[in-house]
Amino acid sequence: MNETGFQAAKALIDGAKRIVISGHLSPDGDTIGSAIAMARLLASIGKEAYATADLNSLGKLGFMKGVKDLVPVRKIRHQRKKFDLFVCVDCRAIDRLPPEIRSTVEGLPTLVIDHHDGATGSFGQADISDPSASSAGEIVWRFAKWNGWELDDVVAEALWVSIVTDTGRFAYEKCSPETLMVAADILRHNVRKELINDIIYNRFSNKAMQLKRLAWKSLHIWRSGRVAEVTLTRDDFRSVRGVKADAEDAVEIPRLCQRNEVAVYFYQIPDRTKEIRCSIRTRGNWNAAELAAKFGGGGHLKAAGCTIKTSMGAAKRMMRAAIKEMMKCPPKPQLSSPTAKPDTKTSPEPAPAPSDSAVKSV
Ligand SMILES: [Mn+2]
């Protein structure tokens, strides 16, 4: 419990009337869930609170009860009345925010609620981030309880989506005993857990199915599967009239190789052919965030992403060279979370899966 941080956060909120809330670009379940929950909790104590997101990137998350209250990013700039507080969830850098809102929130007093590793570059006046938390949603829950705020069903559902997606359904390393206690409390509310699981993980549109087929066809395996890649080009997306959100989980395909340690999903956004996005997942101690940082990207220890501004062929050559370089030396052991036990004797299997959601590529 971050008592000092929570008190500073409370003081900022007490002094604010009109609050804007946003998470990172290409929002995932945790970004949307923690933003919706925070806005609703703040509204419950009489604040005018607006959660914003790029509504075109919601993908499957459109089913969530709180989505109807989200304000499109473009509308935030045209708000006539000024905001007096910005709450930044699941993110801690201005340049990771949707570009449409950056000028509006820059310079506002800021409360940061993040859980990414390597908590650097904070820009807030109050910061209740915790890299050991499973999700930003888990921190929102702790803060709500600390304040004595009541959760309603919409908040509970939003926080459930946050935690379920960011822990890979309670499977990833950062899923702690406390995460399960939080989840247990959330389940006291009316949460559509079966429906949520089905929509997010078990049902795919025709476009998504066609893109999966193309991604499987592109599977490229090297180093006996220790490294594997899939690729979706602009033409692939165009051929099925699909968008990025229709293939968010493509990086899970190369990860299925039995010995896989580094998985990469290369893709092009239609209309931006000179820009190759790479979604990276690692096992063991390979640092996905460091690999992505070589190309100006970032993320978590085992789930990260970057954009390389070049052609597909050149981006692949650059990424493959960086992976080879990284794999020359054995990975540095690292503890990504204070709750993780350094228990190497009893775990001959590769380390658990990454700490980001299956619904989006970082
Ligand atoms: Mn998150």
Distances (CA, A) of 61 to 92, 101, 195, 243: 22, 21, 12, 15
| Residue 270 lies in domain | 206-326
Domain count, the chain: 2
Do the domain assignments include residue 359? no
Task: Determine the distance separating the centroid of ligand 1 and the alpha carbon of 224, expressed in angstroms.
Answer: 32
What is the pLDDT at residue 360?
46
Indicate the helix (H) or strand (E) that contains 274: strand 272-282
For residue 141, the CA-to-ligand 1 centroid distance in Å is 14
Q: What is the pLDDT of residue 223?
A: 96
Residue 29 has, within 13 A of its CA and on its CB side, a CA count of: 32
- Is residue 354 assigned to a domain? no
The last residue of a domain, from among 201, 224, 249: 201
Per-residue pLDDT tens digits for 175-225: 999 999 999 999 999 999 999 999 999 999 999 999 999 999 999 999 999
Model confidence pLDDT, tens digit, residues 59-81? 899 999 999 999 999 999 877 67
State whether 108 and 145 are in the same domain: yes
CA of 134 relative to ligand 1 center, distance in Å: 7
- Considering the domain architecture, whether residues 117 and 210 belong to the same structural domain is answered as no
Distance 235 CA to ligand 1 centre (A): 31
Please state, in angstroms and as integers, the Cα–Cα distance from residue 69 to each residue in 275, 325, 329, following that order: 33, 47, 49
For ligand 1, the distance from its centroid to the CA atom of residue 341, given in whole angstroms, is 22
Claim to verify: residue 151 and residue 61 sit in the same structural domain:
yes
**Going by DSSP bridges, is the β-strand pair 126-127/220-222 parallel, antiparallel, or unpaired?**
unpaired
What share of the chain in percent tops pLDDT 90? 77
- Whether 345 is in a domain gets the answer no
> DSSP readout, 153-177?
HHHHHHHHHHHHHHTTTTTSTT--H
- CA of residue 313 to ligand 1 center, whole Å: 31
Q: What is the pTM of this model?
A: 0.82
Q: Are 89 and 127 in contact (CB under 8 A)?
A: no
Q: How far is the CA of 88 from the centre of ligand 1 (A)?
A: 12
Q: How confident is the model at residue 335 (pLDDT cuts 50, 70, 90)?
A: low
Q: What is the mean pLDDT of residues 121-131?
A: 85
| Mean pLDDT score, 316-344 | 74
Q: How far is the CA of 31 from the centre of ligand 1 (A)?
A: 6
pLDDT category at 88 given cuts 50, 70, 90 is: very high
For residue 249, give the CATH number of its domain.
3.10.310.30
- Ligand 1 mean position to 185 CA, how many Å? 19
Ligand 1 centroid from CA 37, angstroms: 14
Note whether 136 and 88 are within 8 A (CB): no
